[in-house]
Amino acid sequence: MKKLKEYLKKQEEKMQNIEYVKKLYKRSQLEVLAVFMLFAAVFYFNYNYITFKIKLASEFLYTQSLDRLANEHLDKDFSWRDMDALTIAVYGEKLHEDDKYFQLFKRGEFKGQLKEMEHIGSSTKVEKTDSGKGLITFTLFSPRALKNVKNDIDTLKNCDTIIIDLRDNTGGMVSTAEKFASLFLNKGDTIYSFAEKNKFKTIKNKKDPLLTPSKIIILQNEWTASASELFIMALKENLDNVTVIGTKSYGKGVGQNEYFLADGYGFKFTAMKLVTPLGSDINGKGITPDIEYNGGDILAFADRSE
């Protein structure tokens, strides 16, 4: 009787194992089917482009036309591997009519641009003027530039007046402008808002200010743009001690997203509309300075101001 029970138990375990294997097999079949259907769907919805790409690359007789396009947009002869980048470039010409900031980065240009931004930002410096005012020459909004300021922030802490020179600063990273503004703004102040295709968001300062001078003077010119303008309006619309000197700024109140493609290519396009803390739209309008100045040494002029 004992042996019979053991035998029946083993048979039951075998049956359970068989059922487990069957379930595992069915699950594997479903997973394979799901992957197959996913690939089938991708192929189905991209059939026209895939066919166009393969057929054009392999059968098109007038290859000189393709070489001409590739040379215009990619600085090289046509290769089917470059079809995606070439397609974006050709579309980009049309998109550029509405989005003047649309850009296709050719092979290696994207990384090169990031390096150039860091190079320009690295010349950001902190010093004191002849009259003892703090002076921040902020050349481009990059992490390196902000680091340079923070490294010398003790130089600024006892300055009653701080001059921020943003002339020829064409912008850079909005996130850096946000962090730079937080050095001066009070906790809870609105730095800026932005509207994307499907959402609207307001960015507020989360920290207490590290710098609280009695007066802030900002220098700008016609090439002061984008993140620079965002920074200026963040301070101007939150603080009552900000004076802007110079000429009217560029007027870029939109932001771009940048993405890498295969083989070192990349592209960027306008993805957001930037709004000042009080809801102003500066795009295409620029910022009018409090004191118009396009004379000689604007730094000396600012240094003499009280």
Q: Which of 106, 179, 252, 268 is catalytic?
A: 252
Q: Tell me which residues of the chain have a pLDDT lower than 50.
A: none
Whether 192 contacts 277, CB under 8 Å: yes
Within a 13 Å sphere around the CA of 217, how many CA atoms are in the beta-carbon half? 25
In this prediction, residue 258 carries a pLDDT of 86
Q: Where in the chain is the domain with CATH 3.90.226.10?
A: 113-304
The class of domain 113-304 in CATH terms is alpha beta
* Distance in angstroms (rounded) separating the CA atoms of residues 74 and 37: 35
In this prediction, residue 144 carries a pLDDT of 94
| DSSP secondary structure string for all residues of 226-283 | THHHHHHHHHHTT-SSEEEEES------EEEEEEE-GGG-EEEEEEEEEE-TT----T
In this prediction, residue 21 carries a pLDDT of 65
- What is the CA 264 to chain-centroid distance, rounded? 18
In this prediction, residue 25 carries a pLDDT of 72
Q: Is 207 a catalytic residue?
A: no
Q: Is 285 a catalytic residue?
A: no
For residue 243, which of 203, 298, 280 has the smallest C-alpha distance? 298
| pTM for the whole structure | 0.77
SS3 187: coil
In this prediction, residue 1 carries a pLDDT of 60
In this prediction, residue 214 carries a pLDDT of 96
In this prediction, residue 140 carries a pLDDT of 97
In this prediction, residue 11 carries a pLDDT of 59
Helices 83-95 and 47-59: crossing angle in degrees, nearest 10, is 110
In this prediction, residue 6 carries a pLDDT of 63
Q: Which of 142, 193, 226, 249 is catalytic?
A: 226
| DSSP secondary structure string for all residues of 117-140 | HHHHHTT-EEEE-TTS-EEEE--S
Q: What share of the chain is helix, strand, coil (3-state, %, to 5)?
A: 45, 20, 35
* Distance in angstroms (rounded) separating the CA atoms of residues 105 and 216: 38
* Distance in angstroms (rounded) separating the CA atoms of residues 147 and 46: 46
